[in-house]
Amino acid sequence: MKIATWNVNSLKVRLPHVIDWLNNHQPDILCLQETKLIDDHFPLHDINALGYHCLFNGQKTYNGVAILSKLAGNDRILDIPQFSDEQKRVISATYGDLRVVCVYVPNGESVESAKYQYKLQWLTALKQWLQQELIRYEQLIVLGDFNIAPEDRDVYDPDAWRDKVLCSQPERDALNDLIGLGLKDSFRLFEQPEKSYTWWDYRMMAFRLNRGLRIDHILISDVLTKHCSACSIDKQPRKLERPSDHAPVIVEFKIKE
């Protein structure tokens, strides 16, 4: 079983890349962030034509998340329950015995910004909700754009990024709090190349110079860890014309469900 996450930065612009990627990789599940589409404009038929079901939670201009899957999803939940938020950043559903939570964590803008406080509050709400979900679902996977680089080795220039947004200690603490609920960063279960990143700024030739950050993650519950066989970043789509600024992250499991 193969599950992936990809911040596409506009599904309208990136639809050809997503279609090619689905055809080439045949993931069982692909979670998308920054679809930037209202639900009425979701390209449902194009994706259905590839044999994938779609669940989505979109809005105009910003944010927006979706889950594409070979199996139909059950028990769909939109957003974080009991957390009032106009921004569409979460969708979750069950596939077989697997509970999938697709997240687009707020960027935060800068540590001085009000958006940074929103980000930390949002992460607290996510933690409180996931604590309950982990009781309900033994096989839980939480994946998406977390907008947090967990450690200095996940940053191309740690000194330049020290205490900056995406790297600050409160953000890293918040991510570690999620992991502390009983989740693991699947990427770090395996030996990985040095300087592995998932996002590169469009500016200053950042991708060509591999000036990136690893901010997209796949967190899995302990039961899933036992069956997890690989986790990797696919840099290939970042090399295409008009790419997303993020690369997909893929996790694989030996179990079939």
Partner DNA sequence: ATGGTAGAGGATCTA
Secondary structure letter of residue 67 according to DSSP: E
> Least separation, in Å, of the C-beta of 2 and DNA?
26
SS3 71: coil
Question: Left, alpha or beta for 86 (phi > 0: left; psi -120 to 50: alpha)?
Answer: alpha
- Examine residue 107 and tell whether it contacts DNA (CB under 7 A): yes
In 10 A of CB 10, how many CB atoms? 15
Of 11, 15, 12, 13, residue with least CA distance to 23: 15
Tell which one of 24, 50, 62, 226 touches DNA (CB under 7 A): 62
30, 95 Cβ separation under 8 angstroms:
no
Answer yes or no whether residue 242 interacts with DNA by CB under 7 A.
yes
**Measured on CA atoms in the order 80, 92, 238, 161, is the torsion positive or negative?**
positive
13 binds DNA (CB under 7 A): yes
CA-CA distances (angstroms) from residue 83 to 88, 121, 177, 179, 213? 12, 10, 18, 20, 28
Q: Considering only residues 130-159, where is the footprint of DNA by CB under 7 A?
A: 147
Return the structure tokens found at 15: 């639809």
Among residues 20, 109, 163, 257, which is the contact residue for DNA, using CB under 7 A? 109
Q: Which of 61, 82, 193, 194 binds DNA (CB under 7 A)?
A: 61
Q: Which is nearer to DNA, 99 or 246 (CB)?
A: 246
Tell which one of 157, 202, 222, 257 touches DNA (CB under 7 A).
202
* DSSP strand pairing (2-7 vs 29-33): parallel
Answer for which of 6, 31, 36, 200 binds DNA (CB under 7 A) is 36
115 sits near DNA (criterion: CB under 7 A): yes
Backbone angles phi, psi at 101, to 5 degrees: -120, 110
Annotated active-site residue 145? The verdict is yes
How many chain residues are in contact with DNA, going by CB under 7 A? Answer: 17
* 75 labelled catalytic: no
Determine if 17 is a binding residue for DNA (CB under 7 A). Answer: no
Given 9, 57, 92, 232, the residue binding DNA (CB under 7 A):
9
Residue 8 or 101 having the CB closest to DNA = 8
> Cβ 111 to DNA, closest distance in Å?
13
Q: Which two tokens stand for residue 66?
A: 């979706």
- Binding piece for DNA, criterion CB under 7 A, among 8-16, 22-30, 90-98, 218-226: 8-16
Residue 248, amino acid: P
Closest CA to 165 of 145, 185, 147, 144: 147
Backbone angles phi, psi at 134, to 5 degrees: -70, -25
Instruction: Please identify, among the stretches 130-138, 172-180, 186-194, 198-206, the one whose residues bind DNA according to the rule CB under 7 A.
Output: 198-206
User: For binding to DNA (CB under 7 A), which residues are involved?
Assistant: 9-10, 12-13, 36, 60-62, 106-107, 109, 115, 147, 202-204, 242
Enumerate the active-site residues: 104, 145
